[in-house]
Structure 1
């Protein structure tokens, strides 16, 4: 529904709308991985779809999760430029720059996850008679220890920590600007911007932060201490998938056009019933008034005849 509204019912395609379309596509691609993951865990962590599909699903899952983080950061930057510096940075708020940002984002993610793309992520556990998919970490996936450190820093610092700091800074600047110029922007826009900031920060803190912190701890423990936080890491992956359910609220508060279309689709029955009730009441009141006028008309006529007769009697 979100992708349908954003693509075919919102015009013009502003940079914010383009970023939201990218976020919606990301959610759709991430959701396409769920059937494979569900089947995998139902079969007691046995992967029955082959090596290629294991790598493809793994790369899609993680790249789309980090794509959501980067896209939310782009939305916050675009809104910051529009609210705090509407005239100075207007040349940067163009569709071609939004398209370029989305394209650059996906290229960077595919390069960052190249080790996952080029490695057989399946592992046969003969004792249990199962084949796992990206549950047993293969150390030969990267050439040396320095490469592992660079990979972990890219995931945690570049793809999570820096975007999180930028997003928080942008929304703090937006709220401060709206408070200073509340008469200009109005209370409604200020309220919507505050709601949007709260929702985005909630997604970062609830969905993305636990997974990235536990992943960092899990990798460091495996590299240096031969310990594992695998159950906690799997639980945090479930939390990271919740952003698919929260993203529609971002569209709702970030785009006025999406809000209007949403209300048109989900409230027509309420509006129709209200209008029918209003028409029924007006029709009933109209009939009542006409009945009263008809009932009062003859009485006035009879009283007029009586007065006339009285006048005639007084004359004679």
Structure 2
């Protein structure tokens, strides 16, 4: 954070980042790989979720919402790649900078809240199937929940939409985009504190705790009552979700809070570490299709049909349906015979 550009003096850590060509290339290459995997995996996922998966259960609606945010990130990443390769020189103006920054952080926090919603849905469907039978997420509530997520995230990130996030660094002859922030972006230290608290604690830490509780409860329930296949699949799903939180989201939010406090009160910087963590936060968009695979039985079947994986014969498929039907969180559950005949007709 700084004042106006005429009186600004770049700190050594941030200057080193801007002048380090190798770091810029590495980050750009990671973004290129993420873009390719993101658009391919989530494009296929969106097609399967919208056109090949039925009925549209609450979990499927949440997955569609998550895929939408991932595709938006995939569409925005090429602009970030160009910015990096041009030496952190932004040429597209303040409005486009605000849009790009908003897409980055909206993807992160909408993903976090959506994964929390999927975890809650599975918790209610598996751990509390009778007690909450009448209060489960239904389609309309799921849609409203997605809209509420967007509303909460956009409300917290409102300063990013109303502030010029570009900054001219005269000593390097570049104009940055969200790499150097004006201290008067927010009116006071208390406003900065509220902004950071909302991002780190409300949009990250609280959903992380809720999601962890839900998946631990699901695993404990299945460990007591379920067959081996269902239990292993639930454990894999929980591992992937926790991996996304710990690798993609936790470092960025922790470093964001640490870097901001250091800049506001001690004039220190850990910006290079934060920049790298922001890069790795984008990897969540590549891991989300794996969440769909383990979370949705219908998604698994349709994906296997598309890529011609004949891993289950007819009898195994029918047995698997019988094992999973009691604990499935996707309702209403179709009979094994009905699902099997539908798969034969669409193959």
TM over 0.5: yes
1:264 and 2:305 correspond? yes
Q: Distance in 1 between matches of 2:143 and 2:167?
A: 39
Structure 2 portions without partners, runs of 5+: 1-43, 314-347
Match for residue 189 of structure 2 among 131, 145, 148: 145
1:207 and 2:248 correspond? yes
Count of aligned residue pairs for this structure pair: 268
2:95 alignment counterpart: 52
- Deviation, 1:148, is 0.5
1:173 and 2:217 correspond? yes
- Deviation, 1:256, is 0.7
How does the TM-score come out when normalised to structure 1? 0.83
How does the TM-score come out when normalised to structure 2? 0.75
Match for residue 64 of structure 2 among 21, 26, 38: 21
Q: Distance in 1 between matches of 2:178 and 2:126?
A: 43
- Deviation, 1:107, is 0.7
- Deviation, 1:262, is 1.0
1:219 and 2:260 correspond? yes
Structure with greater helix percent: 1
1:241 and 2:282 correspond? yes
Q: Distance in 2 between matches of 1:123 and 1:165?
A: 36
1:121 alignment counterpart: 165
CA deviations 1:251-270 (Å, max 9, x no partner) are 100001111111111126x7
What SS does the corresponding residue of 2:87 show, helix, strand or coil?
Answer: coil
- Deviation, 1:135, is 0.8
CA deviations 1:226-279 (Å, max 9, x no partner) are 1111100011011101111111110100001111111111126x78xx9xxxxx
Is the 1:30–1:65 contact (alpha carbons within 8 Å) kept by the matching residues of 2?
no
Q: Distance in 1 between matches of 2:179 and 2:136?
A: 43
Is the 1:221–1:227 contact (alpha carbons within 8 Å) kept by the matching residues of 2?
yes
What SS does the corresponding residue of 2:102 show, helix, strand or coil?
Answer: helix
Match for residue 230 of structure 2 among 189, 203, 207: 189
1:2 alignment counterpart: 45
Structure with the bigger RCO (C-alpha within 8 Å, sep 6+) is: 2
Q: Distance in 2 between matches of 1:244 and 1:60?
A: 13
- Deviation, 1:92, is 2.4
Structure 1 portions without partners, runs of 5+: 275-316
1:107 and 2:151 correspond? yes
- Deviation, 1:187, is 2.1
What SS does the corresponding residue of 2:113 show, helix, strand or coil?
Answer: helix
What SS does the corresponding residue of 2:175 show, helix, strand or coil?
Answer: strand
